[in-house]
Copies of this chain bind each other. A is one copy, B any other.
Amino acid sequence: MISGKFAITIHILTLLTKYPNDYLSSEHIAGSINLNPVLVRKEIANLKAHHIVESKEGKNGGTKLCVDPSKITLKEIFEMTFENINLGYAKNQPNPACPVGKKINENLSSLYADMNQKVSLQLEGISLEDFSNQF
C-alpha cells in the first residue's frame, strides 16, 4: 500500500499555484481532492514546516504559496512526502548464517539507491509551474 501523501501534496500545490493571490481554505481544497479537510491541513502542516506555503488563521484565513513555483521542483516535493522509491524488503531479519540472507538487504538497498537517483533526476526536471501548466 502506498500512502497518498505525495499525490495530495501535489494536488494542494497545484491549486495554490493556480490561485497565487488567494488564501485557500482547507475546506475548499478538500472539496477539489474530495478528502477530509483535516487530512489536507496535515499535509499543509508539512508544507509549512518546509516553508513552501504560509497560512493565516481565523476568518477568511487559509493557505497560500510562498515560493516561486518555477523555482521548486517535483524532486523537492517527493523528498518532503516520500521516504524513497523502493520495491520493498522481506520484513523479517534474514538469516545471517546464510550467505544470501546476510547480504540481501545490502544488495537490495544498493539497487534501490540507483533507482532513486534515476527518479530524482527525472523529478528534478519538472518544476511545480511545469506541472501546473498541464491543467
Residues of A participating in the B interface, judged by any CB pair closer than 8 Å: 1-8, 10-11, 14-15, 18, 31-35, 74, 78, 81-82, 85-95, 98-101, 103-104, 107-108, 111, 114-115, 118-119, 122, 126, 131, 134-135
9 pairs of A and B residues whose beta carbons are closest in the complex: A6-B87, A2-B88, A34-B92, A32-B98, A1-B1, A4-B90, A32-B101, A118-B118, A7-B90
**Interface SS of chain A: helix, strand, loop or mixed?**
helix
**Residues of chain B lying within 8 A (CB to CB) of residue A81:** 87
Q: Which of B10, B32, B82, B94 contacts A11 (CB 8 A)?
A: B94
Q: Which of B3, B95, B101, B119 contacts A88 (CB 8 A)?
A: B3
**Residues of chain B lying within 8 A (CB to CB) of residue A111:** 74, 126, 131
